[in-house]
Structure 1
Amino acid sequence: MAIDTKYHQISSFQGFETFRMIQEPRLAQSLSLWCGGILLLIILGTFLPWTQNIRSHGKLTTLNPADRPQTVHSTIAGRIEKWHVQEGQSVKKGDTIITLSEVKDKFFDPEFLVRIDEQIDAKEGTLKSTRQKAEALQKQIAALQSGLKFSLDKARNKVKQTALKVQSDSIDFVAAKTDFDIAKVQLERQEKLYKQGLKSLTEYETRRLKFQEVTAKLLSSENKYYTTKNELVNSRIELNSLEAEYLDKISKAESDLSSTLGYLYDTEGEISKMNNEYANMQIRSSFYGITAPQDGYVVKALVSGIGETVKEGQAVASVMPADPELAVELYVKPVDIPLLTKGRKVRLQFDGWPALVFSGWPNTSFGTFGGKVAVIDNIDSQGKYRILVVPDPEEDPWPKPVRVGSGVYGWAMLNDVPIWYEIWRQLNGFPADYMADVAVDASTSKEGSASKTENNDSY
């Protein structure tokens, strides 16, 4: 009865305009439907593929060290006389950047090379004379040695001849002594016969005269013999003294030769030193103009003004080589290094270049450029490892306006995984999947998929 009464009351209000404008609320129902749909889309979206990547910041550099910005140094100390370039100006290899003048008093003389050349000529003349003197001394020594040999042979022959003469005179002396003894006996016998009257006085005196002759001959033979013996002794003494005399002369000549050769070598050393100084001065004169080491642009002058003094090895300007082979220098955490290999694909975003980036969907990104890993350092730098990325020939070329030193943001592309797996990995702080880059054909593609699934499950 109560229900019917209530329904009757509601039905009685249908005729009112206000009651007709009131509707039953359906916002909660619509909101629940939208939330359910969005949740369903999110759940389905988690099964979409996501490309794992390693993110890193870096800067633009060059692959070849010779293409990187370099400073130009002064090889010698000098004073700046003239600047031939301005900052930002392009230069060719060998173009003069700065002209220097000398600051060392040793090289102030404008005729310094001429003076050294004159000194070298004078020393070469001295060297020539000294060499001639050495040759003359060598000839003198050779002549003395030859004369010594000849004189020794002559003296030895004289000693032999004197010895033979001594032998001959000794024989004559012995024969004269024998004749003397015979003459003496004959004289005594003749004297006895004369006293007995058997011989005449004339015969006796004749025998006495004969005895006197034999005695004189004996004395002559004896004197001759002893004289020859003295000559033999003198010949031997002369032989010994002759050798000593020649050896003294030869030793003196050899001493003079050694002194001459020593002066000769000293002169050659001085000439070599002068030639070295001459060559150094010639090379030094070529350093008065500081030149560009290669084609490029003068980035900045590190010294300024005219008349300013620069030291040896001081940097005077910085030059950026023209047309460098660009590369990106990125720094990666040690935990991500095992995932990188040479040739790995990298996406790059350059500072100042408009881009819309989806790191997990590189194909949908806008304003990014491709690259590949070319170098991976073997040692860390301040807790991170450096890699060098070069342009990928299969991708669009890098933009021309970018310059060395500008900032770069990079993503090293890894494996494709579902979004839910990537979220789960990030929440747990796990590293990205590690899979070696191996070439597989169609026959082994299923095995590769199975191994990838097992690897995903392992996390």
Structure 2
Amino acid sequence: MPFAEHPLEETNPLTASFRSFRRVQTPRTGRVLARWLAALGVLAIGAGFLPWTQNIRSTGRLTTLRPQDRPQDVPSTIAGRIAGWRIREGQRVKKGDTLVEISEIKDKYFDPQLLERTREQLAAKISALEQNEGKTVALGDQQDALRSGLAVSLDKARNKVAQTRLKVSSEEAGLRAAENDFAIAQRQLDRQEELYRQGLKSLTEVEQRRLKFQESRAKLQESQNKLGASRQELTNSQLELSSLQAEYQDKLAKSESDRRSAVAYQFDSEGQISKLRNELANLSIRAGYYAIRAPQDGYVVRALKQGIGEIVKEGEAVLTVMPIAPELAAELYVQPMDIPLLSVGRKVRLQFDGWPALVFSGWPGTSFGTFGGRVAVIDNIDSQGQYRVLVTPDPELEAWPQLLRVGSGVYGWALLDNVPIWYELWRQLNGFPPDFVGSPTDQSGKGKSEKKADKSAAEEDAY
């Protein structure tokens, strides 16, 4: 560059005569760099006032919102040996399709006719119960007959006692008559002997009177004997009446004991019949467990057992089935300090593994390859120091890809408030948490600036 073109030679004639001043000059590249730096500085300061969307970043994986849509291990209800496979891995199955067939390994169920034999035992026990019921009815009829016989026998014995009492009364009357006759004969004999001693009666008349006196004594003795026999008969009748009731009571007690034994056997038979029915039902249900069936429509993901003849235990998983068309949800894990900033319904942007994306977390509208979602569930307890959050598709935005699979990785950004970039940089440099934003379902209808204005007005009023 010629010295004549230097600005100092034109603007400052005092220094133009000095050769050193003519050689000192500012390079053109430095001036350009200064202008660029100034322009970048102005742009940086201007960009500091651009809006930035605060967000909470988290990672997780795809899962399902409903538990029945998640991969399910299909267990074997009973212990057995694998007899055959009816599917292959990756095959689509319908609910009720046979997946695996198993055979018995317990000797208790080896008999192939076990169901029929159990039915025979049940039928025999039912027949025995019916016969026992007939025996119970017969014993009841026997007791009724004994009670009827007891009533008749008691009436008969009471009649006999009454007749014997009448006979005793009659014998007592005859005894009193015989005693009167004997007393009269005694007095007559005494008078005849007195007259005989006086010589007024002959010995023949006295002997005749003595004969009649002996006859009267014999009649008196006979009447006493008859009365004694009648009284003894009355006592025997009374004893027979008492013994008759005791005898029938013994028969009735024995019959009642037999009836109660029959009833007890009947109850025991009913219990055994119920047990046999239960066993028969269990055997019938167990027969249906020899085939492991699909619990719902889905795909066979993985076989957890291999080959033929392998033993499986009760409740042991045999294979895994993935349901068809699950209701997907993103399972994200959030730090405890960020949980208060989230609420059900909060909007979230998601990036799925395998889908290319260009993400600007602070400018979700300019991002490419991300999908929208809303917070559906926030756990109330932590899981290994983090809280689980389930995010479902946002019905107002684009649908999630159809080829997503449960278990793939997910990156999420829970969208919060819009702040200037300078404020966000200042917050992160100082380690402050994002601003708290109320629930999106807040019905107050006021924005953040209006709420801040209300808060300032309230503080001024307080002062």
2:451 matched residue in structure 1: 448
Aligned counterparts, 1:86-125, within 5 A: 86-125=88-127
1:273-310 superposed Cα distances (whole Å, 9 cap, x missing partner): 22211111111111111100000000001111122222
1:309-359 superposed Cα distances (whole Å, 9 cap, x missing partner): 222111111000001111010111111111111111111000111111111
Q: Compared with structure 1, are the counterparts of its residues 318 and 195 closer, same or farther at alpha carbon in structure 2 (3 Å cutoff)?
A: same
Structure 2 residue 282 is matched with structure 1 residue 280: yes
Q: For the aligned residues, what is the CA RMSD?
A: 2.7
Structure 2 residue 271 is matched with structure 1 residue 269: yes
2:394 matched residue in structure 1: 392
1:241 matched residue in structure 2: 243
Aligned counterparts, 1:190-201, within 5 A: 190-199=192-201
1:433 matched residue in structure 2: 435
1:49 shift after superposition: 1.2
1:162 shift after superposition: 2.3
1:13 matched residue in structure 2: none
- SS at 1:439 equivalent: coil
Whole-Å Cα distance in 1 between the matches of residues 414 and 16 of structure 2? Answer: 75
Whole-Å Cα distance in 2 between the matches of residues 37 and 347 of structure 1? Answer: 34
Alignment partner for residue 44 of structure 1, among 36, 43, 46?
46
Whole-Å Cα distance in 2 between the matches of residues 188 and 77 of structure 1? Answer: 120
Letter in 1 for 2:260: S
Whole-Å Cα distance in 1 between the matches of residues 17 and 372 of structure 2? Answer: 79
Structure 2 residue 343 is matched with structure 1 residue 341: yes
Letter in 2 for 1:408: V
Aligned counterparts, 1:1-20, within 5 A: none
Whole-Å Cα distance in 2 between the matches of residues 275 and 421 of structure 1? Answer: 78
* Percent identity (aligned): 60
Letter in 1 for 2:301: V
How many residue pairs get aligned? The number is 444
Whole-Å Cα distance in 2 between the matches of residues 300 and 102 of structure 1? Answer: 24
Structure 2 residue 221 is matched with structure 1 residue 213: no
Whole-Å Cα distance in 1 between the matches of residues 182 and 298 of structure 2? Answer: 125
Whole-Å Cα distance in 2 between the matches of residues 2 and 244 of structure 1? Answer: 164
Deviates more, 1:375-384 or 1:206-215: 206-215
1:449 shift after superposition: 5.3
1:57 matched residue in structure 2: 59
1:89-133 superposed Cα distances (whole Å, 9 cap, x missing partner): 100000110111222222222221111111222222222222222
1:205 shift after superposition: 5.1
2:136 matched residue in structure 1: 134
Whole-Å Cα distance in 2 between the matches of residues 274 and 329 of structure 1? Answer: 51
Whole-Å Cα distance in 2 between the matches of residues 370 and 445 of structure 1? Answer: 23
Unaligned runs of 5+ in 2: 1-12, 458-463
Letter in 2 for 1:392: D
1:452 shift after superposition: 8.3
1:190-228 superposed Cα distances (whole Å, 9 cap, x missing partner): 332344344466654554444333222211211111011
Deviates more, 1:226-235 or 1:252-261: 252-261
Whole-Å Cα distance in 2 between the matches of residues 278 and 238 of structure 1? Answer: 59
Q: Compared with structure 1, are the counterparts of its residues 92 and 188 closer, same or farther at alpha carbon in structure 2 (3 Å cutoff)?
A: same
1:232-271 superposed Cα distances (whole Å, 9 cap, x missing partner): 2212222222222222222222222232223222222222
Q: Compared with structure 1, are the counterparts of its residues 177 and 160 closer, same or farther at alpha carbon in structure 2 (3 Å cutoff)?
A: same
- SS at 1:217 equivalent: helix
1:4 shift after superposition: 7.0
Letter in 2 for 1:101: S
Letter in 1 for 2:259: L
Deviates more, 1:144-153 or 1:334-343: 144-153
Whole-Å Cα distance in 2 between the matches of residues 37 and 406 of structure 1? Answer: 45
Alignment partner for residue 321 of structure 1, among 291, 314, 323?
323
Q: Compared with structure 1, are the counterparts of its residues 39 and 453 closer, same or farther at alpha carbon in structure 2 (3 Å cutoff)?
A: farther
Whole-Å Cα distance in 1 between the matches of residues 354 and 328 of structure 2? Answer: 17
- SS at 1:394 equivalent: coil
1:82 shift after superposition: 1.7
- SS at 2:32 equivalent: helix
2:6 matched residue in structure 1: none
Letter in 2 for 1:71: D
1:5 shift after superposition: 6.0
Letter in 1 for 2:303: A
Which segments of structure 1 move beyond 4 Å, counting only runs of 4 or more? 1-7, 199-206, 451-454
Q: Compared with structure 1, are the counterparts of its residues 213 and 449 closer, same or farther at alpha carbon in structure 2 (3 Å cutoff)?
A: same
Whole-Å Cα distance in 1 between the matches of residues 16 and 404 of structure 2? Answer: 84
Whole-Å Cα distance in 2 between the matches of residues 239 and 55 of structure 1? Answer: 106
2:231 matched residue in structure 1: 229
Deviates more, 1:92-101 or 1:428-437: 428-437
1:171 shift after superposition: 2.8
1:445 shift after superposition: 8.0
Whole-Å Cα distance in 1 between the matches of residues 260 and 199 of structure 2? Answer: 90
Unaligned runs of 5+ in 1: 11-18, 455-459
TM-score by length of 1: 0.90
Whole-Å Cα distance in 2 between the matches of residues 398 and 265 of structure 1? Answer: 66
1:170 matched residue in structure 2: 172
Structure 2 residue 182 is matched with structure 1 residue 157: no
Q: Compared with structure 1, are the counterparts of its residues 3 and 135 closer, same or farther at alpha carbon in structure 2 (3 Å cutoff)?
A: closer
- SS at 1:378 equivalent: coil
Whole-Å Cα distance in 2 between the matches of residues 213 and 204 of structure 1? Answer: 14
2:310 matched residue in structure 1: 308
Q: Compared with structure 1, are the counterparts of its residues 2 and 453 closer, same or farther at alpha carbon in structure 2 (3 Å cutoff)?
A: closer
Q: Compared with structure 1, are the counterparts of its residues 213 and 349 closer, same or farther at alpha carbon in structure 2 (3 Å cutoff)?
A: same
1:365 matched residue in structure 2: 367
Whole-Å Cα distance in 1 between the matches of residues 444 and 359 of structure 2? Answer: 30
Letter in 1 for 2:119: D
Q: Compared with structure 1, are the counterparts of its residues 23 and 39 closer, same or farther at alpha carbon in structure 2 (3 Å cutoff)?
A: closer
TM-score by length of 2: 0.89
1:16 matched residue in structure 2: none
2:84 matched residue in structure 1: 82
Deviates more, 1:100-109 or 1:143-152: 143-152
Alignment partner for residue 383 of structure 2, among 381, 384, 396?
381
Letter in 2 for 1:416: N
1:8-37 superposed Cα distances (whole Å, 9 cap, x missing partner): x98xxxxxxxx9xx9961222221221111
